[in-house]
Amino acid sequence: MGMPQSATRWTAEMARALPDDGNRYEVVDGELLVTPAPRRLHQYAVIHLAAALLDYVRGADIGVVLTSPADIELDPHGMVQPDVFVEGLVGGRPARDWNTGAPLLLVVEVVSPSTARADRTIKRRRYQRAGIPEYWIVDPDARTIERWRPDDERPEVLSESITWRPSPEAEPLTIDLPSFFARNHGEVP
């Protein structure tokens, strides 16, 4: 996942200059993270989660649901590509481009064998430092979601349901996790 690098401190600009070779490049605190194309189970989880969030986010009129590729810069030495994320509105409208001040309301990574270390440690710490209100790590194999908030030292590990309430005014979204993972694994249509 995170390729060992020399003393080079990577920037988002340096990562963007790399060849388009099918890998996903991210930079966290100057460390280059290289991820191969994800497996099918990972992509099913991304699509199913984005679909579950889409109607809710539209109905609550709080922002937009997006998926990678996306070059999200948290700082000059950090560019991440979350699998799924909810970006808040800017002046009541969706942002027209990346990194234009739209707040990240929710960031989700779907863990794979090649991304587990980065998702659970490197990227998680960076999202917490950035003050992302919620960071979910979806584990399709374990059929769990780890929920992290900025001040958490340990995740809340959920296997029955997850409830997200991005603002006190909004009705909460609850996702039934056994149903979500059953659909993700092709056990139900």
**Is 7 part of any domain?**
no
Confirm whether 5 is domain-assigned.
Answer: no
> Would you state the pLDDT for residue 186?
87
> Which residue is listed with tokens 């200059």?
17
Tell me, what CATH number does 96's domain have? 3.90.1570.10
Q: How many CB atoms lie within 10 A of CB 187?
A: 10
Angle at 102 between CA 140 and CA 72, to 5 degrees: 55
Do the domain assignments include residue 152? Answer: yes
CA atoms within 13 A on the CB side of 70: 23
More confident residue, 98 or 107: 107
Does the pLDDT at position 2 exceed 70? no
Q: Is residue 135 part of a domain?
A: yes
Range of the domain at 153: 38-184
Whether 72 is in a domain gets the answer: yes
Sole residue written with tokens 């920037």: 11
pTM for this one? Answer: 0.82
Tell me, yes or no, whether 24 lies in a domain. Answer: no
Number of domains the chain is built from = 1
Residue 81 lies in a domain: yes
Which of 31-40, 79-88, 100-109, 126-135 comes out lowest in average pLDDT?
A: 31-40
Handedness of CA 144, 148, 154, 156 (dihedral sign): negative
* pLDDT tens-digit readout, 10-66: 887 888 888 777 777 878 888 888 877 778 888 899 999 999 999 999 989 899 999
pLDDT recorded at residue 6 = 54
In a domain, 15, yes or no: no
